[in-house]
Amino acid sequence: MKAGAAPRLDRRIVILEAGFAENEAGEEVATGWAEYAEERAQYTPVSDGERMRAASVEQKTDARFVVRWSIKLAAVSGENRIRFDGVDWQITGVKELGRGLWIEITAWKV
């Protein structure tokens, strides 16, 4: 994204958080994924050239999602996932773009 340019928020994503429940032994266990937030986002696939420069040789689909900054979204981390076009994506990086303007989330398709 160019500096000063507003992203084109033309896609819908759902940010997920792990759901937990207590089992018979009193332990917290993961039970699945629940909706944390639904947002408009810009979707940008990571190019093969970028993947090669990063020395990534795995066959996986990487992408960047840009969303408007909010307190709720500033708390998103690698513990969360994104659901986009019916597919879950594992979050691998989150960074703020501009001061409180946008959040860029990097993820790979699960």
State the average pLDDT for the chain. 88
Q: How many residues does the chain have?
A: 110
CA separation for the pair 64, 88 (Å, rounded): 14
- Token pair, residue 33, equals 């994924």
The tens digit of pLDDT for each residue in 46-91 reads 865 554 555 555 556 899 999 999 999 999 999 999 999 999 999 9
CA separation for the pair 58, 56 (Å, rounded): 6
Nearest to 38 by CA among 22, 17, 56: 17
pLDDT confidence bin for 105, thresholds 50/70/90? very high
Name the phi and psi angles at 55, rounded to 5: 60, 35
Per-residue pLDDT, 61: 81
- pTM over cut 0.85: no
Per-residue pLDDT, 38: 98
23 vs 5, which has greater pLDDT?
23
